[in-house]
Amino acid sequence: SETNLSIEEVNGDFDFSGEITAFTVTPVSAQSTDNAQLNRLTIKVAVKLVCVSDDKISFEQTFSNFQDFDATVNFSDVENDLVEEISSMLIQSIFNKAAINW
């Protein structure tokens, strides 16, 4: 998203904090042999936003996104790419929530 917002080390309007609350790999679909064909990496983050100028904009919320991947692939081989994709989606979701009233 293009915006005229900027990152400020001090005296900013928004103060974000958060933590990763879940990082899980689970089977998504099974074939007749009960082996998963797809696995899903899900990442959840708890985010707190304090808006200095308008407390009505402040929120605490958990955001979650996932990506599916082939179960025959070694997770460590695709982990970085999956985390990057999910992180981008999480950042967009958090930004959208923060900027909806801006």
The reply to whether 41 falls in a domain is yes
pLDDT tens digits, 12-44: 888 899 999 999 999 987 666 666 699 999 999
Residue with tokens 């936003």: 49
| Band of pLDDT at residue 102, cut at 50, 70 and 90 | low
Instruction: Identify the pLDDT of residue 54.
Output: 85
Q: Is residue 21 situated within a structural domain?
A: yes
Cα Rg of the chain, angstroms: 17
In terms of Cβ atoms closer than 10 Å to its own Cβ (0-12, 13-18, 19+), residue 43 is buried
Please give the residue range of the domain that contains residue 24. Answer: 14-99
Evaluate whether residue 8 is within a structural domain: no
- Token pair 């981008």 is at which residue? 88
Q: What percent of the chain has pLDDT over 90?
A: 62
With tokens 């005296």, the residue in question is 11
The answer to whether position 9 is within a domain reads no
Predicted model pTM: 0.84
